[in-house]
Structure 1
Amino acid sequence: MPRRLYFIICLLALWSGWVHAATAAVTAMGLAEIPAAPGDGPVTVFYPSSDAARPTRRARFTLDVAVQGAPVRGNGRLVVVSHGSGGAPWVHADLARSLVDAGFTVAMPEHKADNYKDDGNPGPDSWAMRPAEVSRAIDAVARDARFAPLLQLDKVGMYGMSAGGHTALSLAGGRWSPAGFKQHCEANLVDDFQSCVGLITRLTGGPFDGLKKWAALFVIRHRFDDAAWRTHTDPRIAAIVAGVPSSADFDMASLAAPRVPLGLITAQQDRWLVPRFHSDRVLAACLPRCERVADMPAGGHGALLSPPPPGLTGLIGDMLNDPPGFDRAGVMPEVNRKTTAFFSTHLLPLSAEADAHP
């Protein structure tokens, strides 16, 4: 072999090794918590890290992450994730990993009185607070000395699931009212019972169903008669995905022309938020000015909890466990890939100024 060719091959081999080593050094997913505004819970951040990942226990989940790992620059963009009622950051770790692998930093606010530590006040009271909590989570990332220099926050992505999907629709320009929730439940209590009452009880066809319906409507009419529209706008948010969103209380005309690119993820076997009252109504209102990012014909409400909470039983298990025939291992990686691709399409590339100063 000629000496020059041998030398070039050696250089290429070395270069390949350097590239592999550099790539391996930044593929770990870091995990950190940062403070938000006074009175808010912490913001959980997943991000590209140069430190090694290790199995880490969080609640009932074991995650492969670099806790407090050194952050490195990815693609310069942030995606905020809004969890569902009683939710936690850990049930969106698979989506976070897909986003981090693509270079995104992911921030997850803890929604007040509607999270896994404190689920004392879900529903419309929480929905009214959540959009501002998302905005304050962006502010928290912007204040953090580790993450702010690595990000450009003029175009932020936002993803929400279930009650978090309600938050997403609000930030997309939708308007809703507590009275709208009341009117929906008055008209559709039996057919959308869990949407109206949550996991307090269910209809069984037994002798107490009449009392349950009376009690549900009594509480709903007493608490949710305010017809004032709720809206919230954050100009930094530039692309939104709503997964199996709670949406029956929205003025659908306000979603006919979303203010930013809006994607929907639907699950046809959803028994908590029945599609014809929620996600299907949104799609009917906004298509073709929005898009269906993914549909899961065999998926239930808990399909987007990935990884799913283990060992759920009773009513919560019936609402969140996968229906028979749902191929989670085959479906969910593709749903996460499509979600990541949606944000990549609408948030990248960075501005010319950011590209010039990596």
Structure 2
Amino acid sequence: MAVCGCRLLEVADTVQQAMIPLALLYPAGGVEATEQFGPYSLEVALNAAPVGGPHPLVVVSHGNAGTPWAYRELAKHLVQSGYIVALPAHTGNTRHNNNRANTAANLANRPRHITLVIDAAYDQLKDHLIADRVAVIGHSIGGYTALAVAGGKPWTGPYERKTNPPQPVPVTPDDRVRALVLLAPATAWFRPEALRTVRLPILMITGDRDVNTPVEHAFNVLDGVADRAQVVHKVFDGAAHFSFMSKFPPEMTKPEFHPSQDPPGFDRGAIQAELFADIDMFLQRAVGTPPHNETR
């Protein structure tokens, strides 16, 4: 099984005038050690030499006030399956700095961050990446981000319009993105017809106990995209909005911290293997089978 290499860098966003923290995880040589990323730990080989390829690129877009490390186990699984994974922190909408939440600027910044991160990944690891073969995995507002960078045409929603009339959000699609995985996606920023320009294969995974983004958000995707047949929709029984994230460290797992909690009787750890397999199988079909023989 592949060693998981890790590079930490920052990507400049000249429009936002901010830096985007980015972790690149990739098949590598070397030896893994347990590393801390804030309160989260993961066994990786820091700054190890990349190996094999070319590999498809997967970018993970986290949720509101979130962190990419909440998807660390999925990211490492994908590296071990032969992908290179980019984990950006959406500056202004993270657990450390959430000052752009509920603003039109945040809706414009997030998709642009994805394009900048794709550029950075190709700059860092271009000899190990397949050209223009990118998938985006988005959770919650990360699902919005994925749909926007794939060609969706968003408008500001109720939170962003408190002091301004509705307005279109300026987003430039990135045609390097070839597939989307939407985990409990938030889609309220897309009006009817706004997703007709999204013409990519999509895997959408939701939970039937989700009160944050209930089933109407999924219907926006199913009814909105150009070809509903390109969307595979799977519902996990008993899952809520945060149930697709990695388990939080024990010191963060408490009732008042809602992302760490699941509905009674549901164990997010128990579904991880099935969740990972669903995503892996979809990505193999959508962006190509990675060269396993070169990474194992």
Shared fold (TM-score greater than 0.5)? yes
Match of residue 159, structure 1, among 134, 137, 140: 137
SS at match of 2:108: helix
Alignment of 1:247-266 (within 5 A): 247-256=187-196, 258-266=198-206
Q: CA deviation at 1:105?
A: 0.2
Give the corresponding residue for 1:86. Answer: 65
Verify the 8 A CA contact 1:127 1:163 in the aligned structure 2: no
Give the RMSD, CA atoms, in angstroms. 2.2
Verify the 8 A CA contact 2:112 2:171 in the aligned structure 1: no
Give the corresponding residue for 2:8. Answer: 33
| Residues 148-186 of structure 1, C-alpha deviations (whole Å, 9 max, x = no match) | 1111231111111111111011123221211xx12xxxx
Verify the 8 A CA contact 1:98 1:337 in the aligned structure 2: no
Structure 2: unaligned runs, 5 residues or longer: 291-296
Verify the 8 A CA contact 1:173 1:233 in the aligned structure 2: yes
Verify the 8 A CA contact 1:172 1:262 in the aligned structure 2: no
Higher helix share: 1
How many pairs align? 283
Alignment of 1:104-183 (within 5 A): 104-124=83-103, 125-144=105-124, 147-178=125-156, 181-182=157-158
Higher strand share: 2
Q: CA deviation at 1:249?
A: 2.2
Scaled by the length of structure 1, the TM-score of the pair is 0.73
Percent identity reads: 28
Match of residue 34, structure 2, among 49, 55, 75: 55
Scaled by the length of structure 2, the TM-score of the pair is 0.87
Distance 1:326 1:78 in 2: 31
SS at match of 2:99: coil
| Residues 227-276 of structure 1, C-alpha deviations (whole Å, 9 max, x = no match) | 22544310111111111111122123232462221221111111222222
1:331 aligns to 2:282 (yes or no): no
User: Match of 1:31, as an amino acid?
Assistant: C
Distance 2:254 2:219 in 1: 28
Verify the 8 A CA contact 2:132 2:176 in the aligned structure 1: yes
Verify the 8 A CA contact 1:293 1:339 in the aligned structure 2: no
Question: 1:76–1:283: structure 2 CA closer, same or farther, 3 Å change rule?
Answer: same
User: Match of 1:245, as an amino acid?
Assistant: P
Distance 2:54 2:82 in 1: 5
Alignment of 1:1-358 (within 5 A): 24=1, 27-38=2-13, 39-124=18-103, 125-144=105-124, 147-178=125-156, 181-182=157-158, 221-256=161-196, 258-276=198-216, 278-286=217-225, 288-308=228-248, 310=250, 311-313=252-254, 316-317=257-258, 320-348=260-288
